[in-house]
Amino acid sequence: MTEIITVTANPALDLSTEAPVVIPDRKLRCAPPLVHPGGGGVNISRAIHNLGGTSRALVAQGGPTGQELVNLIEAEGLTPESLGVAYPTRQSISVRDAATGLQYRFMLPGHAWTEHDAEAARAAILAAASPGALVIPSGSLPPGLPPTFFPDLAPALAERGARMILDTSGAALSHAAQARSGLYALRMDTVEAEELTGQRLRQLSDHADLARKLRADGAAEIVIVAAEASGNVIATEDWVGLTRPPLVIPHSKIGAGDSFVGAFALALSRGEDPVTACCWGTAAAASAVQEEGTTLCQREDVERFFKQVERIAL
């Protein structure tokens, strides 16, 4: 089976809670918080573990919060490895308004990195990458780490026979879309895609046109644009279309994208074709939105939802 390596440069200790109503200038009495290890790569490894798979999780963490993060990761049966950078780990908090069902998410910044830190992380990633491995950097970047860092790392990984699946946003996504750096897969959601293009994606055909164009321009072999509740649009060499999930009642959107990437990568590592892997990812995202906080996808639900995912050519 293909090895999966996740990379989290800016992890967080995630606290999630609920208040009867969220209004300004008042003390809001919240429910007891759920506490989970967070950060894109960490959550992807957690999702893979939930689905019965294995991965290596490279994490930059430090300080008391970082130790609590490690303890929580290990409590879920994972063994995080150092990314070579050990600044104090940040926190984030999400509050669900019980009256409206709306969720408010507050993300604190991480510690600023130096050029030396970037070199240490680069060395750790390249040392971990084995031939054929799927390397998945995910999550926000700490201050000081240039948005070009991960796309520019892809060619060096390719030289070692590894492939990069990149799930990013903002300036890093813009660079990845233009760099032609040999990415295996590039994923974004609708908001990120609209920021990239400066245009509204009003119809699924707009998502498909963008995914098709990015792939043709050499951004990646596989391009995926998440279309919220409609599912995921994927462009591969052989097929462009939508993988549509079954109808579910959402509780929290946190972790849906990470669950998608985890299930997608796990399916690829087991030899599934990219479109089938996208169906697994779509099922995992549908599972995740039903959960509280950052509990992520659940295997039984994912296996049930996978059978209900539709493939629609666009």
Determine the Cα–Cα distance for residues 296 and 253; give it in Å rounded to an integer. 10
Determine the Cα–Cα distance for residues 310 and 242; give it in Å rounded to an integer. 8
Residue 258 a catalytic site member: yes
User: Which residue in 117, 258, 273, 301 is the catalytic one?
Assistant: 258
Catalytically active residues are 258
